[in-house]
Amino acid sequence: MSQRGFKADHGRSRGVIELSARRTREVFCPEVGPMEAVPSVWLFEGLERRSVRLQDGRVVKLSVDVKDLPPGQEGFSKYHAGKDRMVVALSSATYGQLELNDGRARFTLAHEIGHVVLHCNELERLGTLPHAAGAMARAARRGHAVFRDCEWQANAFASAFLMPARGIKQMMAEGSLRYLNLGQALSSNYVVSDMAARIRADVYRKDEAKLVNETRY
């Protein structure tokens, strides 16, 4: 199977990730409905007031940072042991695009939130997820299933966080979009890139019942 990054401690299905993204969205931005786009900079700066719970039950606060990063690196997440905090960092360029409500920058932010929510234990143990080291070691180790991949999981989380299955279902029920033009409708409504919207539309068409049903409490 495909392998894109570091192997996660736990495998997760799309349904499980959808539920995690839904709960995170409800806590991080409770006033934003499932059919509404999450405000970009407000979400990023508001992370300073949020926290995540580790496997041992300990609660760790979140922090944010904006840094000059190498070309091609848009953001990262890490555990700051000295301050006992999970840090979501964006490159200066990505933050600038976030201020313009750019779809790619919004997805990068949601992706990094996915890491601190889903992979907080890995981050505490390792400091940061060794994407580069993992990629270099691919030829030397046995591949892992895609549902065990940290990058796949974070991408699935970002997609579900920005474009909730419940919101898509409500929009369709209210006639707010046309099913055959779902990708364009998602891109416009949730302010995401065309590619992210097309992928989400394909996933929703394939697993609509599973995504919606598994997010019920």
pLDDT in tens, 111-134: 999 999 999 999 999 999 875 444
List b or e across 193-203, with b for residues whose CB sees 16 or more CB atoms inside 10 angstroms: eeebbbbbbeb
Alpha carbon 136 to chain centroid, angstroms? 24
Whether the CB-CB separation of 190 and 204 falls below 8 Å is answered with: no
With 90 as the cut, is the pLDDT of residue 142 above it?
no
Cα distance between residue 186 and residue 209, in whole Å: 18
* Mean pLDDT for all residues in the chain: 88
Cα distance between residue 130 and residue 135, in whole Å: 8
User: Which of 163, 165, 204 lies closest to 186 in space, CA to CA?
Assistant: 163
With 90 as the cut, is the pLDDT of residue 143 above it?
no
Which residues contact residue 11 at a Cβ distance below 8 angstroms, ignoring those fewer than 6 apart? 145, 147, 148
Query: Which pLDDT belongs to residue 201?
Result: 93
User: Where do the domains of the chain lie?
Assistant: 14-213
With 90 as the cut, is the pLDDT of residue 172 above it?
no
Query: Which pLDDT belongs to residue 214?
Result: 53
Query: Checking DSSP bridges between strand 59-67 and strand 85-91, what pairing results, if any?
Result: parallel
pTM of the predicted protein model: 0.90
